[in-house]
Amino acid sequence: MAQRYDLSDDSVVVVIGSGAGGGTVANELAQRGVDVVCLEAGSRLEISDIRNDPPFMDQVMGWHDRREGAPVWLCKTVGGTTMRWSAVSPRFKDFEFRARSTYGAMDDTTLIDWPLGLDELEPYYELAETKMGVSGTGGRPPSAENNNYKVMAAGAHRIGYRDITSSNIAINSIPYDNRPACRQIGFCNDGCAIGAKWSTLYTEIPKAEVTGHFELRANCMALKINHDAKGKVTGVVYQDASGNFQEQKARVICLAANVVETTRLLLLSESNLFPNGLANSSGQVGRNYTRHMANGLAAVMPKPVHFYRGARQAGIIRDEHRHDPSRGFAGGYLFQTSAGPPEWLSEFAGWGETAAEWMEQFNHFASVFLVGEDPPQASNWIYLHPTEKDERGLPVPVLEYAHHPNTTAMLSHADRKARELFAALGGKDIRGDTDKLGGGCHNMGVARMSVDPRDGVTNRWGRAHDVSNLYISDGSVFTTSAAPNPTLTIVALAIRQAEHIAASMSRGDL
């Protein structure tokens, strides 16, 4: 059953955030007998609360603080962005952990190698795939091949691609882990109304609760991390569901609030000892923000496709997931099937009568999503606004991001190949937007791992270089973005980190 801990209990690990990183590290610690308090800014939904209604779910799960537009997707709910993701779960390749060594010097980037490689992370990838029920791994069958996948696969073969799969999706292809198999409903990005898609909301959090070593505090917004005179963190100040300010004492703190709020909390936790923000002696907190080269294209096919039927993203073309500088850029990218409700494609439609005519062919649409590596740049960063405040009177975070020439060159190549793929099958009126790079749901960097403390914020375990009992447990620790969607790697790193923390606590090192 769920546990309750006293605010003064300084033996607990406090985890801030309950998404892919926070929810996983919390459960893994609780399974090892470590007492955990998890603070989550959002509310806790039940599966019965999830509707196949994207606008409604956006209001329920989204982070709707005042801001201009929506440059990144943030979720404010138990489960975090695992409620809103499409569940595509490929592994990084070995060369992507050695980006600086593989690509060489790249102008206007801050490329470095990861302080670990695929050989070290591979066992944790296997554990993550087992935990998440990733299709086509561990003896589980591939995902069902919906019509959109069949179009993409056929076009891929026509233009010479061969590495095409309907595997590596963290949506159950068979009943698994007391959750049903996918029923091909198609609203995957807005929660899963039957629980077939992996989310920490109904996997990691309930499993942690039954250990008796875990307490979830929903609707509790972390505001500041405190530390002692020696620089060790001692507790988290937060505002609870009633609006009261509390401080939970801690032995160890794991910060996993997604890169925007992770950055903000570190910077808000400045002090005389850490005048530029907690764990920021390097000045790298908030720097090296990356997302992905990402965009979508849609084509009108000769026959009806009904691309919206079935899992939203249910297939991958991996032929371009390699480093081949003869293509005119460093790193690689992936094609993925992509589908959604009509409003998702409206951004390609334009305006007026021509837009209406295009959207009338909705049943004939096929669509792909392009995702590839985005090199880190010091100028892509998150910082606190000097005057603007949020509803709590705290400085709002500001994100500055500009595309690197390598990213735009990669997108140009990917866009051309996607158009060839559709045209090979008779696709017409192919639309996308190479001037509008997406990828804002894949937030990475800002507290990256590094061997040299001057180059990053955390070490190979995600522990802050400056603070021995502070860990970063989300995508903030990514040294580079690589091409694949980040969630599987976040989960693998979180499992590995929890193992390290539990062992260190047992030895008395923490």
400-427: per-residue pLDDT in tens? 999 999 999 999 999 999 999 999 999 9
- Alpha-carbon distance 69 to 78, whole Å? 24
Write down the pLDDT at residue 188.
83
Condensed to tens digits (0 to 9), the pLDDT of residues 306-358 reads 998 888 888 999 999 999 999 999 999 999 998 866 766 666 777 888 788 88
- pLDDT grade, residue 256 (50/70/90)? very high
Beta bridge pairs of residue 191: 189
Q: Helices (DSSP H) in 384-447: which residue ranges?
A: 405-423
CA proximity to 293, closest of 249, 336, 264: 336
- On the question of pLDDT at 435 being above 90, the answer is no
Domain ranges of the chain: 13-507
Give mean pLDDT, residues 265-281: 98
Q: How confident is the model at residue 438 (pLDDT cuts 50, 70, 90)?
A: low
Kind plus residue range of the DSSP H or E element containing 224:
strand 221-227
> What local confidence, expressed as pLDDT, does residue 64 receive?
65
What are the b/e assignments for 323-358, b being 16+ CB within 10 Å?
Answer: beeebebbbbbbbbbbbbbeebbeebbeeeeeeeeb
Percent of the chain with pLDDT over 90: 82
Tell me the C-alpha distance between 273 and 226, whole Å.
11
Q: Is the pLDDT of residue 434 over 70?
A: no
| H, E, C per residue of 183-220 | CCCCCCECECCCCCECCCCCCHHHHHHCCCCEEEECCC
Q: Which pLDDT value is given to residue 351?
A: 80
pLDDT category at 264 given cuts 50, 70, 90 is very high
Is the sign of the CA dihedral 449, 450, 453, 456 positive or negative? negative
Backbone phi, psi, residue 363, to 5°: -65, -15
Given a contact cutoff of 8 angstroms between Cβ atoms, the answer to whether 297 and 370 are in contact is yes
- Listed in sequence order, the DSSP H helices in 135-181 are 147-158
Paired tokens of 127: 């554990």
Helix or strand (DSSP H, E) at 39: strand 36-39
Q: In angstroms, how far is CA 80 from the centroid of its own chain?
A: 9
Q: Let me know: does 187 contact 55? Beta carbons within 8 Å.
A: no
Tokens of 249: 């004492």
pLDDT reading at 102 higher than 80: yes
DSSP string covering 285-312: TT-S-B--EEEEEEEE-SS---TTSS-S
Phi, psi at residue 441, to the nearest 5°? Answer: -80, -15
Cα–Cα distance between 92 and 103 in angstroms, integer? 16
- How confident is the model at residue 338, as a pLDDT? 87
Query: pLDDT digit string (tens) for 18-71?
Result: 999 999 999 999 999 999 999 999 999 998 888 887 778 777 777 666 655 566
**pLDDT given for residue 306 in this prediction:** 93
pLDDT given for residue 343 in this prediction = 67
Amino acid residing at 308: Y
Distance of CA 240 to the CA centre of its chain: 26
Helix (H, G, I), strand (E, B) or coil at 169: strand
Using CA atoms, how far apart are residues 363 and 300, in angstroms rounded to an integer? 9
Q: Please, are residues 84 and 75 in contact by the beta-carbon 8 Å criterion?
A: yes
**Secondary structure (DSSP) of 325-391:** GGGSSSS-EEEEE----HHHHHHHH-SHHHHHHHHTTGGGEEEEEEEE-----TTSEEEEEEEEE-T
For 13-507, CATH number out of 3.50.50.60, 2.120.10.30, 1.10.150.240, 3.90.1170.50 equals 3.50.50.60
Q: How confident is the model at residue 2 (pLDDT cuts 50, 70, 90)?
A: confident
Evaluate whether 298 touches 337 at the Cβ level (below 8 Å).
no
Amino acid at 167: S
> Are 94 and 117 spatial neighbours (Cβ–Cβ below 8 Å)?
yes
**What whole-number distance in Å separates Cα of residue 309 and Cα of residue 148?**
8
Q: Which amino acid is at 359?
A: M
Residue 182, pLDDT > 60, answer yes
Q: How many residues does the chain have?
A: 510
Residue from 421, 435, 323, 420 nearest 372 by CA: 323
Q: Which residues of 397-420 are buried (b: 16+ CB within 10 A; e: fewer)?
A: bbbebebbebbebbbebbbebbbb
DSSP calls for 437-460:
---TT--B-SS-B-SSTTT-SB-T
Can you give the pLDDT at residue 339? 80
**Average per-residue pLDDT for the chain:** 94
What does the pLDDT read at residue 255? 99
What gap in Å lies between CA 169 and CA 187, rounded to an integer?
15
- Euclidean distance between CA atoms 253 and 224, whole angstroms: 12
Q: How far apart are CA 459 and CA 501, in angstroms?
A: 13
In this predicted structure, the answer to whether residue 10 has a pLDDT above a threshold of 70 is: yes
Does position 146 have pLDDT exceeding 80, yes or no? yes
Give the pLDDT score at 439: 57
> Could you tell me how many helices (H) and strands (E) the chain has, helices first?
12, 16
Res 67: pLDDT: 58
* CB contact at 8 A, 306 and 381: no
The two tokens of residue 342 are 């009509």
* Tokens read off for 72: 């990144």
- The yes-or-no verdict on residue 436 having pLDDT over 80 is no
Order of all β-strands in the sheet with 221-227 = 221-227, 233-239, 245-249
